[in-house]
Chain A
Amino acid sequence: MDDRQRFREVVLPHLDDALSLARWLTGNVTDAEDVVQDACLRAYRAIATAKGINPRAWLLAIVRNTAFTWLAKNRPKTAVTANDEALFERASLEMVDPQASPETILIGKIDAEQLHSAIATLPLPYRQTLILREIEELSYQEISKILSIPIGTVMSRLARARNLLIQRLVMAGKGKAGAA
């Protein structure tokens, strides 16, 4: 199979997922498109190494690396801010409404906008970990290697990220303004 044809077969079917991943890592669609285009060029140059491996995982790993490089260059300040660190210290895992009745189980009808802003306001380390898990579908061990953090930290970041999302969405569902 010719390289161009292999590129079309390996890369093009996963463009939507690639763009979704880049969108969450960079924070907006315009930057995500730049990252995806750059990642696709890298993928094309390395297409021979894609033989026999899971194409989606392979492409998404390239997109993630490209996005990290892009972030380091264009957004050096998106490193962990003092604010995030404070949150890190403060945030404990809280049961949302331990006395809630079964009717309030539902997070409520969530519109995409609410969810997106809830995710966007997560501290960066939480958001990255969540994205690697939910979009790239990586294992704790893989995430631990990629982000150079212990597995226990992967575990607690995921738990806290989801806990924060649920708290915010439940609040939003109740029609109360503001987040937890």
Chain B
Amino acid sequence: MNKPSAWSSREESLLLLNAYLDNELDAASVLEIERRMAADPALKLEHDRLVQLRGVLASQLKTQTASNDLRRRIEEMAEETPPPVVQRLATPSRNRIRSYAWREMAAAAALAAIIAAGGTYAFLRPNLGSNEIAAIVAGHQRALLAATPFDVASSDRHTVKPWFDSKLALSPQVIDLSSAGFPLAGGRVEVIDGKPVPVLVYQRRAHIISVVAIPRAGQKDTTEPSLATTNDGYFVIQWHGRDFDYTVVSDLAENELDEFVNLWRHAARGN
């Protein structure tokens, strides 16, 4: 393919623009694409069109309404089928390998080569160490299935902090957010990567929020933006704090969890 170099830069801008609108860029790349847009009216126009398309898709993709007949069939099916006795603990398979995978892979490899050559990978948000996240989410799930999601039940941070100190000889900051509607429920200890780590448990209405604090001795508090991802339907937000890396897991709506994290980090800096 014999393309002028302006083409790849244009192509890269469009790829970045999509990732930007999908909220998949790291902070530096967000600045970069915003700078490019400010300098390039045609790119800004493309941005506006994509925003418009997104609006149209949002309203036009979810147009189906389940007919009363379908609803009735599904409700009847639940009535007629005996309740499940065996609990399947495995979640639905997410890595289905389909028969035509190799053909896709060939095409994908060709494209990936083009993209990698442009260095586009570097612009994506960093991979959050998905094994660790999977372990943390699994811990949260286990805690939800247990009789209580905490080992020490207390809404008083002056009870929870000494409890961690006595168990682990260390404790993360225990922040009281009850006035903002996120009362502390207690704490538990989890084993992540072979090491016991403290977990703070907060509540929001019927939802449980786990705050996993992995020790990073000597680490300073930062104001870096938090990184959000999802795993098995849970929202996961991570950030680096003083002496700990924090990971928050919950089934709470993402905006509420964001609010929680912002309040928590703000209060932690004030302490």
Contacts and interface: CB of A to CB of B under 8 A. Distances in A.
Interface residues of A, number: 93
B222 interface: no
Nearest to B10: A95
Contacts of B110: 88-89
Contacts of B97: 148
B89 A19 contact: no
Contacts of A62: 92
Nearest to A29: B64
A46 B91 CA distance: 9
A51 to B, nearest CB: 6
B32 interface: no
B71 A80 contact: no
Contacts of B116: 152
Nearest to B143: A52
Nearest to A156: B111
Nearest to A14: B66
Nearest to B23: A139
A115 B87 contact: no
Most-contacted residue by chain B among A125, A153, A158, A163 (CB, 10 A) = A153
A131 interface: yes
B15 A40 contact: no
B208 to A, nearest CB: 7
Contact of A162 (B53, B70, B232): B53
Interface stretch (B44-52, B166-174, B185-193): B44-52
Interface in A79-102: 79-80, 85, 88-89, 92-93, 95-96, 98-100, 102
Contact of A149 (B73, B81, B108, B232): B108
Nearest to B103: A80
Contacts of A139: 24, 229-230
Interface in B64-80: 64-67, 70-71, 73-75, 77-79
What are the 6 tightest A-B residue pairs by CB atom distance, in nearest-first order? A79-B100, A57-B233, A52-B144, A54-B233, A19-B64, A15-B66
27 contacts: A20-B63, A24-B61, A33-B67, A33-B70, A36-B74, A52-B208, A53-B251, A57-B232, A61-B233, A68-B98, A76-B99, A79-B103, A80-B100, A93-B15, A96-B49, A107-B49, A107-B56, A110-B60, A112-B63, A125-B104, A131-B61, A142-B94, A145-B95, A147-B104, A149-B108, A150-B112, A155-B18
Interface of A: 2-4, 7-8, 11-12, 15-20, 23-24, 29, 32-33, 36-37, 40-42, 44-49, 51-55, 57-58, 61-62, 65, 68-69, 72, 76, 79-80, 85, 88-89, 92-93, 95-96, 98-100, 102, 105-107, 110, 112, 115-116, 119, 125, 131, 133-135, 138-142, 145-153, 155-156, 158-159, 162-163, 165-166, 169-170
Interface of B: 3, 7, 10-11, 14-15, 17-19, 22, 24, 42, 45-46, 48-50, 52-54, 56-58, 60-67, 70-71, 73-75, 77-79, 81, 83-84, 87-101, 103-105, 107-108, 110-112, 114-116, 120-121, 124, 127, 130, 140-141, 144-145, 208, 229-230, 232-235, 251
